[in-house]
Structures are given as C-alpha cells and as structure tokens.
Amino acid sequence: MKKLIAILISLTIVLGFSTTAFASSEKVNIEKIEFKNPDFIKGMDISSVISLENSGVSFKNFNNEKEDLLKILSDNGVNCIRIRVWNNPFDKDGNGYGGGNNDIDIAVKIAERAAKYKLKLLIDFHYSDFWADPAKQKAPKEWENLTLAQKTEKVKEFTKSSLEKIKAVGGEVAMVQIGNETTNGIAGEYSKDNMAEIYKAGSSAVREFNKDIKIAVHFTNPENTEYIKSLADYLNDYKIDYDVFSTSYYPYWHGSLSNLTEVLNYAAKNYGKYVMVTETSYANTLDDTDGHANTVSQWSNCTGENLLWDFSYQGQADELRAVMSAVNNVDNGKGLGVFYWEGAWISVGDTTGLGVKAYSERLENNKKLWEEFGSGWASSYSKEFDPDDAGKYFGGSAVDNQAFFGADGKALPSLRVFDFVSFGDGEILLGDADGNGKVNILDTTVIQKHISDGYSVNKKAADIDGDKLVTIKDATLIQKYRVKMKVDYPINTDVN
Ligand code: CA
C-alpha cells in the first residue's frame, strides 16, 4: 500500500509538471533530425578538461550548480567523448607542452569519469608528443631514430598498452583513431608505403585488443575533393583494415556542406566504410575571454561563403545541426556521427570588461596558469619539440568563443542542440523517452537500453520521478501506468 501511495505521489508530481518549457531568452530553436542511424554519435572532444580544472576552472549546469563536466554533457545529449593522446608531451624536466598535457595518464582520468556517466569513448592517438595536423606529423622523441620496423612495433605496443590502461578504469572505447589529421603524414612518415605500415600497425593492435572497437582514419580539407577521395582509394589499394573514414570540417576553411557529404559518400559507397566528422566547431561570439587571440575573431576567419550562420548561440547550434545533417545525408545509413572539437575549452581567468591595468594583471596570471598546468594551446616548454609554431606563439585558448560554456563555466543555451537534434525543441512530454511524440512501450524499452548500454534517451522526458536520474524506476512507472493506471496518467497523448 505504501508503495502504491508512493506511485500516486509520483504521478501527482507528474500531473503538476507534465511539460517543461524553456525561458525564451535561453532558448535556441533546432529542428529535429531523423537520424538513419539510431545510435548516431553526438560527440564532443573535451581533452583539455583536467588542465582547466587544475587551473581553477569549474563547470556549471543550467541551474548554475557546479557539476562534473562529463555529467553535464551526458545529461544534455552528448553520447561519446573524444580524447587525444600524446606519447610524451613533457620536456626532460617534466614541464608540460600544454594543450592539456594529454598523455595517457590524463586520458585515463577523463575515461574514468566518462565511464561513470556511461559515455563511450573515441581515443585519438596522435602518435606524436604534441599537436599532429596536416602541417606537422613529427614522431615522438623516443621514436625519432628508430627504423620503420622498430617504429611499427612501438605503435603496436603504445596502442595496446594505452587501451589496456583505459579498460582498467572501466572506460568503454567505442572507436580508436589511427593518427590525427594524417592528410600528409603520420608518426614522422610521409611516403605512402611507410604510412601504410604505421596504419597497419595501429589497426592490428586495436583488432587484437578488441574486435568490437571501430577503427577510424582521420583527414582534413574535404574541400580538396578529389585528393580526399583519392585517400580512400589509397587505403583500399594498400589493404588497410579500418571501419570509419573521417574528416575534420571547419566551415571557415573546409568548403560546403554538400561537398562534405559528397566526399563522405565516396568512401561509404565505393568501399562500404562508415563515415564521420571527427572535428567541427563554430564561434558563438567574436569576443575573446582569456587574453589569447581566438582563431575566429573580428580580425580573422569570420567571413566566407560557407559561414552560413550568425556568431551567436543560435548560430553555433545551427552549424552543429547542419554538420550532423550533412553526415546523416550520406547514403545507406553510413553516417556514423559528429564530434564537436573542444566544446569546453574556456578561459582560465575572464578578462572581459576589465580596465587596462586589471586586464594586464589577469592576463599575467592566466599565462602562469597556462605554463604551470598546460591549460593553454601550448606552453613555452613546447619549443624543444615544435620550435617554429608552438614554441613561438604559445598561449591560452584560441577557441573559448566556440565553447558551449561561458567564461564563468556555465552551460550556454547552445548546448541544448545535442538533445534538440534528437528530440526536437518543443515542450518536453514527460515519459516520451525516445522522443517520438508518444508515451508507449518503446519508451520503457529505450530506458532499459539506456541503463544497460548507454543508449541515447531524452533524459528530461525519461525522468518520471524527478530524481534527476534515469533509472529502472522510471521505466516501471511508465509500465505501471500503461497497464493499470491509464486513466490517471496525466501526460498521455497516445498510449498503445
Ligand atoms: Ca582566447
């Protein structure tokens, strides 16, 4: 009887708050995407998080409560976390190169927290000691003078031992990247023959570790349409074993969305590969908040024919939705997902609105934090490894205006895009966990799938009892209602 009363109380609560509306000033409007792939990856790279926290940063949810960044992301529809791994981003005195100082130990710390909230992982091996991109693919210091055969052994060992460490803390690796932005090279190898040996070494290590993990390759510059397509041909010609053909897509530089879909379609149709956007981002303002110039500002990268959106919360959300849609438009459901790049790399000390003296003091303090904790894109210590770029232009975050969190750490309205693309931006129908507009048996099923393997549900709709968790209790409440309490259920639109 007590139990029944508890349920009745719960349902009364339901009656009082059957739908949740957002205050209009806090709202971005996003049309739902009909995902061909029901487990579409709505991912985010947050590799800098530990260094930010060490620098004093904390993150806050929409209620302005301090909370683990990983929980905030999980609660708001992000379902996969990307973590970069450098072999040894430290000088011989132990000073970090910056960019989060992301060695495997840092990756393990993030993985452990992601596991707590059932967030899956993409492990992004750079096979370098610092940033690897189209212009830089320097081998780790320790591998510098090795033969190719010795280097491939090192790639295998490092890949396997890193994945073992992540597994040991409960991290669920869904995907591994063999190299980062390897458009022109990988791990200090630049010929097609030698690059193939590195790819094969990384790939075989992942397969030996766990056959269920998807293997991704990652390129850039999809606007070089024919060249990027030829990389898919190359991988096939060299019989490289992989599952996901992926690219970065930054609309400032990387062509149109229709061209993006075309490039991805090529790998999907000709070689049966899954495809993905590994990195994208968009500025929600042209202002800076940490004293280090941003990649996108009123002086740079803010105009161009493919910048279709305002620099606003709405524009930031629209860009991500559009990129997700372009990936979803790939034929045969081969579009696997999209990762937003460093959506939480905010300021370690807000410089907004400060007078000249206060600004310069705050900036000096920020510089100390970037140097000590590696929370800027590069520290001065990186010059021994990358003297021409990081060693000259080191400093703070160049993307604090592309984050989903303000300089105060609070979640921005644009963060809701991750939920809205799946469930729409309308009022939340309590009980409609799968977002199909009805409360029915499917909702109990997806809640069970969510509990067992982290399947995406609309958490705000699924949390029937309002305890801020999606548990079996919520599924049971929906089920009980369906069977016995049909008439009393206040939020029913279409029970069947
Ligand atoms: Ca900045």
Ligand 1 center to 48 CA (angstroms): 14
Q: Is pLDDT of 279 > 60?
A: yes
* Per-residue pLDDT, 479: 81
- Domain 2-21+427-482: give its CATH superfamily: Dockerin domain (1.10.1330.10)
Instruction: Give tens-digit pLDDT for 65-89.
Output: 999 999 999 999 999 999 999 999 9
Per-residue pLDDT band for 485 (boundaries 50, 70, 90) equals low
Ligand 1 center to 349 CA (angstroms): 10
Ligand 1 center to 92 CA (angstroms): 28
Question: What 8-state DSSP symbol labels residue 290?
Answer: S
What are the structure tokens assigned to 379, written together?
Answer: 């520290």
Ligand 1 center to 352 CA (angstroms): 11
Q: Is pLDDT of 10 > 50?
A: no
Same fold for the pair 2-21+427-482 and 36-419: no
Q: Is pLDDT of 259 > 60?
A: yes
Instruction: List C-alpha distances in Å: 47 to 224, 229, 398.
Output: 28, 29, 14
* Per-residue pLDDT, 70: 98
Catalytic residue of the set 181, 189, 319, 371: 181
Between CA 56 and CA 373 the distance in angstroms is: 10
Between CA 324 and CA 320 the distance in angstroms is: 6
Instruction: List C-alpha distances in Å: 448 to 120, 436, 494.
Output: 17, 17, 21
What are the structure tokens assigned to 112, written together?
Answer: 């452990």
Between CA 107 and CA 49 the distance in angstroms is: 10
Per-residue pLDDT band for 16 (boundaries 50, 70, 90) equals very low
Between CA 54 and CA 348 the distance in angstroms is: 10
Ligand 1 center to 297 CA (angstroms): 9
Instruction: List C-alpha distances in Å: 396 to 174, 210, 355, 365.
Output: 31, 37, 20, 11
Give the mean model confidence (pLDDT) for residues 301-313.
97
Ligand 1 center to 404 CA (angstroms): 14
Chain-wide mean pLDDT for the chain? 92
Q: Each residue of 411-435: b (16+ CB within 10 Å) or e?
A: bbbbbbbbbbbbbbbeebbbbbbbb
Ligand 1 center to 354 CA (angstroms): 15
Query: Who's near 357: CB < 8 A, 6+ residues apart?
Result: none
* Per-residue pLDDT, 25: 54
Instruction: Give tens-digit pLDDT for 238-249.
Output: 999 999 999 999
36-419 classified as CATH 3.90.1150.10 = no
> Worst-scoring range by mean pLDDT, 363-372, 471-480, 487-496?
487-496
Nearest C-alpha neighbor of 140 from the set 150, 148, 130: 130
What are the structure tokens assigned to 10, written together?
Answer: 């719960």
Sign for the pseudo-dihedral over CA of 439, 445, 448, 454:
negative
Secondary structure class of 341 (helix, strand, coil):
coil
Ligand 1 center to 376 CA (angstroms): 9
Nearest C-alpha neighbor of 111 from the set 187, 176, 165, 72: 165
Nearest C-alpha neighbor of 245 from the set 319, 335, 326: 335
What are the structure tokens assigned to 474, written together?
Answer: 């919520």
Q: Is pLDDT of 490 > 70?
A: no
Instruction: Give tens-digit pLDDT for 116-137.
Output: 999 999 999 999 999 999 999 9
Give the mean model confidence (pLDDT) for residues 49-60.
98
Q: Is pLDDT of 488 > 60?
A: no
Location of structure tokens 């529809």: 77
* Per-residue pLDDT, 3: 42
More confident residue, 255 or 471: 255
Ligand 1 center to 400 CA (angstroms): 5
Helices and strands in the chain, H and E counts? 15, 8
Ligand 1 center to 461 CA (angstroms): 36
What are the structure tokens assigned to 164, written together?
Answer: 């073992």
Specify the long-range contacts of residues 468-475, CB closer than 8 Å, at least 24 apart.
Answer: 470/433, 472/447, 472/448, 474/433, 474/447, 475/443, 475/444, 475/447, 475/448, 475/451
Ligand 1 center to 291 CA (angstroms): 6
What are the structure tokens assigned to 218, written together?
Answer: 């990652």
Secondary structure class of 371 (helix, strand, coil):
helix
Ligand 1 center to 80 CA (angstroms): 25
Sign for the pseudo-dihedral over CA of 98, 100, 102, 106:
positive
What are the structure tokens assigned to 147, written together?
Answer: 């033969």
Hey, how many other C-beta atoms are within 10 angstroms of the C-beta on 455? 18
Q: Is pLDDT of 106 > 50?
A: yes
* Per-residue pLDDT, 454: 78
Ligand 1 center to 213 CA (angstroms): 35
Between CA 344 and CA 45 the distance in angstroms is: 8
Instruction: Give tens-digit pLDDT for 87-103.
Output: 999 999 999 999 999 99
> Worst-scoring range by mean pLDDT, 42-51, 258-267, 324-333, 468-477?
468-477
Q: Is pLDDT of 13 > 60?
A: no
Instruction: Give tens-digit pLDDT for 160-175.
Output: 999 999 999 999 999 9
Nearest C-alpha neighbor of 283 from the set 132, 148, 398: 398
* Per-residue pLDDT, 426: 83
**In the annotation, is 371 catalytic?**
no
Give the mean model confidence (pLDDT) for residues 248-277.
98
Between CA 293 and CA 395 the distance in angstroms is: 9
pTM reported for the whole predicted model: 0.91
Helix H or strand E encompassing 277: strand 274-280
As a whole-number percent, the residues of the chain with pLDDT over 70 amount to 92
Nearest C-alpha neighbor of 291 from the set 365, 351, 380, 374: 351
Instruction: Give tens-digit pLDDT for 189-240.
Output: 999 999 999 999 999 999 999 999 999 999 999 999 999 999 999 999 999 9
Q: Is pLDDT of 43 > 90?
A: yes
| CA 241 to chain centroid | 24
Ligand 1 center to 289 CA (angstroms): 6
* Per-residue pLDDT, 2: 41
Ligand 1 center to 294 CA (angstroms): 5
* Per-residue pLDDT, 484: 57
**In the annotation, is 223 catalytic?**
no
Residue 14 contacts residue 439 (beta carbons within 8 Å): no
Domain ranges within the chain, ordered by starting residue: 2-21+427-482, 36-419
Ligand 1 center to 290 CA (angstroms): 5
Residue 127 contacts residue 179 (beta carbons within 8 Å): yes
Beta strands per DSSP E along 56-156: 80-85, 120-125
Give the mean model confidence (pLDDT) for residues 381-402.
97
Residue 121 pairs in a beta bridge with 81, 173
* Per-residue pLDDT, 431: 86
> Worst-scoring range by mean pLDDT, 5-14, 38-47, 317-326, 458-467?
5-14
What are the structure tokens assigned to 327, written together?
Answer: 């990936």
Catalytic residue of the set 189, 262, 279, 371: 279
Question: What 8-state DSSP symbol labels residue 24?
Answer: G
Residue 395 pairs in a beta bridge with 378
